């Protein structure tokens, strides 16, 4: 039998989840290399680099070693775009080791693995996403760019179940983006549009990885 394929990895590190509903929970992050998009506001351009090849067992060994020093119940596969690579064997190994699995994705590709928590972040200009995420997403994060419109938020709100929050996330450290996010949130409140939230990136505020 062939060994599982190696994955291209940028970094593996412990931190607090800084975004979305899981904000503040200790989490071990595995950043996969490569992305199929090139967002101008990308704050993880490190993931555009090639990364280094690692077998799933090597990645698991690092996760287990980190977990001894920084106990965490969650592992988060992030990027870049994790779904560009064959992550099934790694996802299975993470679950088998007893961790809960979060995957952060731009949602353009079909989800081919199981995860406890899909955190999706559709991107401009068209904010398109694979339809499988309508039911799977636990949260929809939108980076508040200059181009993000109320129309886009309302359109996405109409596509996802009411229980799935749409989270307005200002571009890190940009005051205009924070103001715009608050203003969009208020308009949604006043118009009776439910489950729209505001969230700053906790790890940026704390200046941790």
Interacting residues toward ligand SF4 by CB under 6 A = 35, 37-39, 42, 44, 47, 79-81, 106, 123
Nearest to 140 by CA among 124, 125, 121, 156: 121
The least CB distance from residue 151 to ligand SF4, in Å, is: 21
The least CB distance from residue 108 to ligand SF4, in Å, is: 8
User: Residues 6 or more apart from 161 whose CB is under 8 A from it?
Assistant: 134, 135
Q: In terms of DSSP bridges, do strands 74-78 and 26-32 run parallel, antiparallel, or are they unpaired?
A: parallel
The least CB distance from residue 192 to ligand SF4, in Å, is: 31
Yes or no: say if 140 and 114 are a contact pair by the CB < 8 Å rule: no
d(CA 202, CA 174): 14
The least CB distance from residue 81 to ligand SF4, in Å, is: 6
For ligand SF4, give the closer residue by CB, 51 or 80. Answer: 80
For ligand SF4, give the closer residue by CB, 60 or 181. Answer: 181
Query: What's the full length of the chain, in residues?
Result: 209
Yes or no: say if 181 and 192 are a contact pair by the CB < 8 Å rule: no
For ligand SF4, give the closer residue by CB, 67 or 123. Answer: 123
User: Residues 6 or more apart from 115 whose CB is under 8 A from it?
Assistant: 77, 91, 101, 102, 103, 136
The least CB distance from residue 52 to ligand SF4, in Å, is: 18
């Amino acid at each position: 039998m062939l060994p599982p394929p190696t994955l291209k990895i940028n970094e593996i590190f412990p931190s607090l989840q800084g975004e979305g509903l899981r904000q503040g929970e200790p989490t071990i992050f595995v950043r996969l290399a490569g992305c199929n998009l090139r967002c101008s506001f990308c704050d993880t351009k490190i993931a555009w680099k090639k990364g280094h090849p690692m077998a799933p067992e090597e990645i698991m060994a690092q996760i287990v070693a980190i977990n001894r020093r920084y106990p965490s119940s969650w592992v988060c596969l992030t990027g870049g775009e994790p779904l560009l690579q064959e992550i099934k064997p790694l996802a299975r190994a993470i679950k088998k080791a007893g961790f809960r699995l979060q995957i952060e994705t731009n949602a353009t590709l079909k989800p081919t693995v199981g995860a406890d928590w899909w955190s999706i972040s559709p991107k401009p200009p068209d904010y398109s996403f694979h339809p499988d995420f309508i039911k799977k997403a636990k949260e929809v994060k939108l980076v508040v760019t200059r181009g993000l419109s109320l129309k886009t938020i309302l359109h996405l709100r109409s596509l996802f179940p009411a229980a799935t929050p749409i989270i307005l996330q200002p571009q890190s450290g940009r005051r205009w983006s924070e103001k715009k996010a608050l203003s969009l949130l208020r308009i949604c409140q006043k118009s009776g549009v439910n489950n729209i939230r505001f969230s700053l990136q906790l790890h940026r505020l704390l200046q941790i990885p």
